[in-house]
Amino acid sequence: MNSYTVHPSSYRDAAGFIFEYEGKIYRQVNKVYSDNYTLLHSSGLYTALVKSGKLITHEAIQENITCSNDWYITLLPQQLAFISYPYEWCFDELKDAALLTLNILRTSLDHGMILKDASPFNIQFADGKPVFIDTLSFEKYDTTKPWIAYRQFVECFVVPLVLSSYTSTDFIKQLQLNPDGISTAFAAKVLPFTCRFRLSLLLHIYLPNAVKGSQQSKPAVNTSFSKQKLINIISSFTSLIHSLKPAKAQSAWRNYYEETILSNTYLEEKLLLVKNWIKEVDADTAIDIGTNTGIFAIAAAERFKQVIAIDNDDRCVNDLYLKCKAETIKNILPLCVDIANPTPAIGWANKEREAFLSRPGADLIIALAVIHHLIIGRNISMPQVAALFRQMGKYIIVEFVPKSDSKVLEMIKNREDIFYDYNEEGFERSFEVYFNIIRKQKINGTDRVLFLMKKR
């Protein structure tokens, strides 16, 4: 019998499941889904979605790898380098994922099929844009029935986006605590009263919530439904989501480089050093920690196949995502991740959704103007930071910002200086436990020092 591992997130759908075999991800299609799988291809829907880049490709394999009695066919899908989750996305990433779902739904109707679910977990980002990954989400369309995934779409996409537009983008992070979505009842209580006068919000948030409450004690009533009604709903959702913009909020780091008292020469020299050093690194992937506006992530993208750019400031991440879209930079994935409190494992048995640090690491870690925020701002020790970076990557480009720096002086101005080992010697001593120093360069006009290191 072949040795394979069923993916811990793939247990909800009787149509099939994801498994890993010999280092690759496969999807088994079960017999119960055979008619829908055949229709997906014979209707031309699969070809249409793949051709437009909206659905990942797959190769059909006539081998029952799992030796299952339920087996119908095995699929080898396009292999994705990195998996992210909706609660790590910025506003416009979730918005684009919602619009993709609606577009796929509309296209499916034209091919006699429909989406049976509308979870944002069915979407990943590849080549700079969202792509649908769940091949088994399509089923034959019954023109007499409403869209079964309507409520799921509202609570997983519409509510988080509307709350993020009218109140705070922090609500996207709530999908980590509520992976099945945020209820319309909650949204109706939190949204400003004036939202009741917006027709699309009245139709999709307030009225469904009111009807759900009033009909709890009433028997279900069968009502007719039509394709045109569903098309109207899709149009309503599309117009609403297109109109939404992230709520205006103060960003702590959005204008960091524009407002810093350090000279432009500092940024230019640091950028030149980073560009030169990454040429020396034998690497394909990089993680830019505290990416801010993405200046160094973009520089790394010129050299590496993929760059994961993370920051705990969602406005910065959103700006970078929009910049990558506008400039067609396809190999940067901006994510809202706080490296001092990275995304944990969640879901069934704490294995359904992987922790950020458990996902594939990178060849190079870039951590510029980050160390002082972790150690002084978050009270994390120097050895702990060094150990974390060792866990994450093979090489690191890291910037040490000493106590004499204006930014550090500002951080410790109104607190006791308990950071006795926070100096260049202490920094090197902590990092040399795990790394060899390859390059070391003081940045002209500052006391800041840049290091290139390789894991021992």
pLDDT digits (tens, 9 = 90+) for 347-370: 999 999 999 999 988 999 999 999
Short-list 149, 397, 183, CA closest to 270: 397
Is residue 256 scored above 80 in pLDDT?
no
364-384 average pLDDT score: 96
How far is 24 from 76, CA to CA, in rounded Å? Answer: 8
| Band of residue 98 on the pLDDT scale cut at 50, 70, 90 | very high
pTM, two decimals, is 0.93
Lowest mean pLDDT segment, chosen from 117-131, 173-187, 201-215, 352-366: 201-215
Q: Can you read off the two tokens belonging to residue 428?
A: 């090197």
- Domain range 256-455, CATH class: alpha beta
pLDDT of residue 379: 94
| Cα(143)–Cα(129) distance, integer angstroms | 31
Of residues 82, 61, 80, the one with CA closest to residue 2: 61
**Would you state the pLDDT for residue 235?**
97
Decide: 388 and 378 in contact? Cβ < 8 Å.
no
What integer is the mean pLDDT of 153-181? Answer: 96
For the packed helices 159-166 and 91-110, what is the interaxial angle rounded to 10 degrees? 140
DSSP conformation letters of 112-138 = TEEES---GGGEEEETTEEEE--GGGE
Closest CA to 276 of 40, 14, 452: 452
DSSP state of 31: G
- DSSP symbols for 25-61: EEEEEEGGGHHHHHHHHHTSHHHHHHHTTSB--EEEE
The percentage of the chain sitting over the pLDDT mark of 70, rounded to a whole number, equals 93
β-bridge partners, 435: 455
Residue closest to 292 by CA, chosen among 255, 339, 329: 255
Q: Which two tokens stand for residue 356?
A: 């950020």
Mean pLDDT of the chain, nearest integer: 93
Q: Span 313-330, mean pLDDT? A: 96
Could you read off the pLDDT of 396-417 as tens digits, one per residue? 999 999 999 999 999 998 888 8
Residue 252 pLDDT grade (very low, low, confident, very high; cuts 50, 70, 90): low
Task: Give the amino acid at 297.
Answer: A
What average pLDDT does range 171-178 have in this prediction? Answer: 95
- How confident is the model at residue 445, as a pLDDT? 86
CA 129, 77, 160, 153 torsion-angle sign: positive
- Identify the band that residue 215 occupies on the pLDDT scale cut at 50, 70 and 90: low
Cβ neighbours of residue 42 closer than 8 Å, sequence gap 6 or more: none
Distance CA 221, CA 230 (A): 19
Rounded Cα distance, 409 and 417, in Å: 10
Residue labelled with tokens 């019954």: 142
Q: What angle do CA 338, 344, 349 make, to 5 degrees?
A: 170
Asked if pLDDT for residue 192 goes beyond 70, the answer is yes
Could you state, in order of their start, the residue ranges of all structural domains in the chain?
5-77, 86-243, 256-455
DSSP reduced 3-state for 148: coil
- Structure confidence at residue 162 (pLDDT): 97
> What is the pLDDT, as a whole number, of residue 222?
52
- Whether the predicted pLDDT of 257 surpasses 60: no
Per-residue tokens: 382: 């120097």
Neighbours of 358 (CB within 10 A): 14
Supply the pLDDT for residue 254: 54
Q: Give the model's pLDDT for residue 248.
A: 84
Listed in order, strand segments (DSSP E) in 33-177 are 58-61, 71-77, 113-115, 123-126, 129-132, 138-140
Residue 212 above 70 pLDDT? no
DSSP assignment of 317-329 equals: HHHHHHHHHHTT-
Q: How confident is the model at residue 51 (pLDDT cuts 50, 70, 90)?
A: very high
How far, in Å, are 61, 228, 291, 384, 434 from residue 379 at the CA level?
A: 52, 58, 21, 10, 21
Q: How many residues would you count in the chain?
A: 456
Take residue 412 and report the two structure tokens written for it. Answer: 């410790």
> What gap in Å lies between CA 88 and CA 79, rounded to an integer?
20
Band (pLDDT 50/70/90 cuts) for residue 208 is: confident
Q: What percent of the chain has pLDDT over 90?
A: 86
The gap from C-alpha 227 to its chain's centroid, in whole angstroms, comes to 33
Q: What is the mean pLDDT of residues 279-293?
A: 94
Mean pLDDT, rounded, for 48-65: 97
Kindly give the interhelix angle for 227-243 and 91-110, rounded to the nearest 10 degrees.
160
Stretch 61-90: mean pLDDT, rounded?
97
Q: Cα separation of 202 and 322, whole Å?
A: 30
Longest dimension (CA), the chain: 76
Residue 449 CA to residue 360 CA, distance in Å, equals 29
